Amino acid sequence: MMGRVTINCGSGEDSTSVSNTFIDTYMGDANDAQIKVYLYLLRMMSANLPTSVSDIADKFNHTEKDVMRALRYWEKHGLISLEYDGARHLTGIHMEDMPSFRELPSEVPPVKQFPVQEEAAPLMMTSPAQTPFPAPAPIQNAVPEKPNYSAKQLQEFRQDAHCSQLLYIAEQYFGRTLSVSEMRTILYIHNDLQFSDDLLDYLMQYCIEHEKTDFRYMEKVAIEWDRDGIKTPKQAKSRSAKYDKRIYVVMKSLGMENAPTDKEAGFISQWLDSYGFSMDIIQEACDRTVLSTQKNRLRYADGILRNWHDNGVQDKNDIARLDAAHTAAPAARSMRSTEHTAARKNSFNQFQQNDYDFDALEKQLLHN
């Protein structure tokens, strides 16, 4: 069995400093390419050297798309900021201050893809001390720290009828007896973050629906909601809808590249949740919309899907049935119109018709 080993430092000044927070908190979830890119950025920044996406790609035998994905990964986690020119080409990288603790958002909207310069110019890299931007304003409403409830306090909570009911509901949702740590999380969210019973109930549903049974995840979501001022299940649903990947897929299918507004997310959520349509049915409506109109596509698609919902559409066979009925209707109307016209002609022909001798009539007129 091997014992502990001592690590000695033999490096001189020619070295790059890496934050312990990066090693302890961020490095474990990153892949090799992401770690290489971030360390290389630190190295170039410490030496005050320029670089480019193509240079980084060549350095590690990656594609430029791989490098851009790595850069967006670290931007998403708040370790760097990317700057673009008017043509959305990358022009600068700003190395952000390393936070003292991990704050990864549980819900992150998809990142828009921007073109990478084929002839990449050197990127300007700045450190936090060099940033030309003002420091962010301090958070006005800090999230309360999580108390370290004692065993005696937990026992008292267990004996309280209301708290006992909350813990019982949590056990039913997650299908297990809660650990001491999990009990503390429930009480922290309810007592310290001041979640109402309804909001806490919806939070637990939200975690189960997303197949997240780790209470650390639930705590992170609760903190995010608290920071965003979420107080009701309705507000939480509206916020969550914006980060539903399906909504972004539908928006893209309609040719809409913007982040969804509350109203736009509400339309698509209604198709998915209230109408219960599968993505292939919604995609069919989007395809028809794109071929039919350039304006108000969301409302146009909503009209199609509302009609399908009213007609009990469940799958594409039902859509084909409605299409056939819609096509047959004009033909039936045309046939009825033809029959009506023929009937009018026949009724005219039913009048008694006389045979006239036009030569005799002409002679009669001349004699008169």
Tokens representing 83 are 């700057």
- 195-228 residue pLDDT tens: 999 999 999 998 988 888 899 999 999 998 998 8
Residue keyed to tokens 């309804």:
198
Nearest to 224 by CA among 207, 208, 241, 239: 239
pLDDT at 11: 45
Give CA–CA dist 87/30, Å, rounded.
29
Give me the count of residues in the chain.
368
- 22-50 residue pLDDT tens: 888 888 888 988 999 999 998 888 777 88
- 325-347 residue pLDDT tens: 888 766 556 666 666 565 565 55
For residue 84, give the 3-state DSSP assignment.
strand
Kind of pairing between the strands at 90-95 and 124-126:
parallel
Q: Which residues contact 367 (CB under 8 A, 6 or more apart)?
A: none
pLDDT at 57: 85
Residue keyed to tokens 């919902």:
309
Name beta bridge partners: 125: 93
pTM over 0.75: no
Is residue 57 within 8 Å of 66, Cβ to Cβ? yes
